[in-house]
Amino acid sequence: MKKYISLCLTVLFFIMLLTGCDGEKTASSPSGKKSNTLDEIKRRGVLVVGSSNDAPFAFIDKDTKQFSGIDAEIITEIAKRLGIPKVEMKEVKFENLLLELNNQNIDIVTDGMYVKPEREKIASFTNIWYKEGEALVVLKNSPIKGIEDLKDKVVGVQKGTAFLEFAQKLHKEGKIKEVKVFGSQAELLLAVNTNKIDACITDSAVAGYSITKDPSLNLKLVSPYKAQASGNIAAAVRKEDKDLLDTINKELNKLKEEGFILKVLKKYGLNEDNVVPVEQ
């Protein structure tokens, strides 16, 4: 009897072992290799993008209800070229984007995110999409062509931005006559538009987008202009998703070579100053 029970237990053990092996095979691709994130995205036909719904980078347009913006158009075109028919935005607070990425709640982060050493410790970044920093905004017929023309000018800056410190530094150095502080981006641009101030220093992407969207603003971004506080913007993926990273970089290089990136930048009010060449 004991031998019979022992034999039954042995047979049961082998059945469980074989069942476990079969289960492991069903979680793999047809070739027997474990599927990766890129394979999974292609299988479901949807790329889930994390964004804080931030214009002009990656946001849902209130009128069209479409995923729009600089980063949005770039990642949507990349997805299209990879045969992924749908890009879906999941709104996440900016400070939680990389956390949600590593929690596997999103596939990729595209939201005007600067590449910084502390961020590179927890995520992998693609090649640089474009660069963006402060802009010098003036009236379209203004003779101002750069910082060197601000010695006798009144320049506005928005409260709470990194550009306020930059403008105050220029004032102390005698490069700006006077700095005026405004409570919002809208107030800042309106002050330039109505000649209350001679120019303003503000975020280039946000200013460029505002100018293109509001026809009442008779303004322009001074160009060429080398930003003093510029940052490199790229998309972020999980450290282990090397196949996804390499594939996106390959398509990104094609978009740069074809002029697609510049076209998108210009659509949202930016220009050649924001372009980053193909990385080898």
Same domain as 122, residue 147? no
- Looking up tokens 């193909």, which residue turns up? 278
**Residue 225 phi, psi (nearest 5):** -150, 125
> Tell me, what's the pLDDT at 96?
94
Please answer whether residues 70 and 264 qualify as being in contact, where contact means their C-beta atoms are separated by less than 8 angstroms.
yes
- Please, which residues have CB within 8 angstroms of residue 76's CB and are 6 or more apart in sequence? 67, 87
- Please, which residues have CB within 8 angstroms of residue 142's CB and are 6 or more apart in sequence? 198, 199, 220
Same domain as 127, residue 67? yes
CATH of the domain at 58: 3.40.190.10
Please answer whether residues 92 and 51 qualify as being in contact, where contact means their C-beta atoms are separated by less than 8 angstroms.
yes
Of 275, 273, 265, 271, which is closest to residue 56 (Cα–Cα)? 265
Same domain as 154, residue 181? yes
C-alpha span between 269 and 57 (Å, rounded): 12
What is the number of domains present in the chain? 2
> Tell me, what's the pLDDT at 227?
87
Look up residue 266 and give its DSSP letter.
H
> Tell me, what's the pLDDT at 230?
80
Same domain as 123, residue 41? yes
> Tell me, what's the pLDDT at 127?
97
Of 100, 49, 53, which is closest to residue 76 (Cα–Cα)? 49
Please answer whether residues 58 and 51 qualify as being in contact, where contact means their C-beta atoms are separated by less than 8 angstroms.
yes
Number of Cβ within a 10 Å radius of residue 149: 17
Same domain as 78, residue 140? no
Q: Identify the three-state secondary structure at position 270.
A: coil
Q: Is the dihedral of CA 151, 221, 54, 182 positive or negative?
A: positive
Same domain as 121, residue 57? yes
Rg over alpha carbons for the chain, rounded to the nearest Å, is 26
Same domain as 152, residue 99? no
Of 161, 144, 152, 106, which is closest to residue 222 (Cα–Cα)? 144
Tell me if 26 is assigned to some domain. Answer: no
Same domain as 189, residue 123? no
> Token pair of 65, please?
């209800």
108-109 and 46-51 beta bridge pairing:
parallel
Tell me if 53 is assigned to some domain. Answer: yes
> Tell me, what's the pLDDT at 2?
40
Same domain as 245, residue 125? yes
Same domain as 115, residue 88? yes
Same domain as 120, residue 82? yes
46-51 and 86-91 beta bridge pairing:
parallel
Q: Is the dihedral of CA 242, 245, 249, 250 positive or negative?
A: positive
Same domain as 126, residue 239? yes
Residue 87: which domain range? 37-131+232-274
Tell me if 165 is assigned to some domain. Answer: yes
Q: Is the dihedral of CA 204, 267, 61, 120 positive or negative?
A: negative
> Tell me, what's the pLDDT at 9?
45
Mean pLDDT of successive 10-residue segments in the chain (280 residues)?
45 43 37 72 97 92 94 98 97 94 97 92 97 94 96 94 88 97 92 98 90 93 88 96 97 97 94 89
